[in-house]
Amino acid sequence: MSSLVNAKYSEWTRSLDTRRSMIAIFEHIRDIPYSLEVPMTDPGTAPEQMLRLGKGYCGPKHFLLAEMYKKMGLNVVFATIAFVWNDPDFHYPPELRALTTRLPVAHHLACRVQIGWRWVLVDATWDPPLKKGGFPVNENWDGYSETQCAVKPLRSAVRTAFCRTATSEACRTKNEAELCPLDGKKDHREAEDHSRYYREIVTKRKPEDIEQIHRFYQEFEVWLVKIRELE
């Protein structure tokens, strides 16, 4: 844990018990503005890089959350979740919506945390202002219940075609306690294992897919700025 991360951990959890510390860490990370502008793929440096820049996306957010939760003695694994950006609930402008239809399947990162006897999804991706854009912001988390997933997980049978019945509910039953791969997810105990798995995925992308992704990221970033400017 870097000195900056350690300082933030102390600041966010000072005088709080375990449950309130979990909530405080979650809320501080959730409130970091979501941004795809700067790649932060190294789990060893991404948390500090994000804190210094004051913005980041699902990867560095959950690397940081896992690092802090592990410091508290909690068991955490990384959940890699397949999804598509063409989500009908996101209030894209027409031009951006058109771009999403040409994107390949993407992969989201969240955490699964053992709380009591259950493994629950903890997703701190979207910051509150993005609720105006149709993003499922996790507000008022109680430190125990499962959060909404930031995206609609693609189950294995529909990985290449969007399922209109998909929701942001976690791919699991409410009574499931075991740590095991879930439909639509790939779990890793270590951040480095997730990073290795993700690199294997992105190296298979075609040049035209990479071009479309970069164009989408640029336009998506502009749109997020406009959402945050709305009253």
Q: What is the pLDDT of residues 180-206, one digit of tens each?
A: 444 445 677 677 777 777 777 777 888
CB 109 within 8 A of CB 122: no
How many other C-beta atoms are found inside a 10 Å radius of the C-beta of residue 11?
A: 10
pLDDT at 180: 43
Domains of the chain in start order, with CATH, are 3-229 (3.10.620)
Contact 145, 100 (CB under 8 A): no
Handedness of CA 73, 63, 202, 96 (dihedral sign): positive
| Closest by Cα among 29, 35, 8 to 224 | 35
Length reported for the chain: 231
User: Taking a C-beta distance cutoff of 8 angstroms, is the pair 106, 230 a contact?
Assistant: no
pLDDT of residue 185: 59
CB hemisphere CA count around 26 (13 angstroms): 25
Phi, psi angle pair for 79, to nearest 5°: -105, 115
- Report the alpha-carbon distance of residue 196 to residue 149 in Å, rounded: 22
Task: List the one residue out of 18, 20, 21, 48 whose CA is nearest residue 32.
Answer: 48
Spans of the chain, pLDDT less than 70: 156-186, 189, 231
- Can you tell me the distance from the alpha carbon of 31 to that of 137, in angstroms, rounded to the nearest whole number? 10
Q: In this predicted structure, what is the pLDDT of residue 173?
A: 45
| pLDDT at 6 (0 to 100) | 97
Residue-level pLDDT at 151: 96
Entry pTM: 0.85
Q: Is 177 left (phi over 0), alpha (psi -120 to 50) or beta?
A: alpha
- CB atoms inside a 10 Å sphere around CB 28: 19
The reported pLDDT for the residue numbered 230 is 87
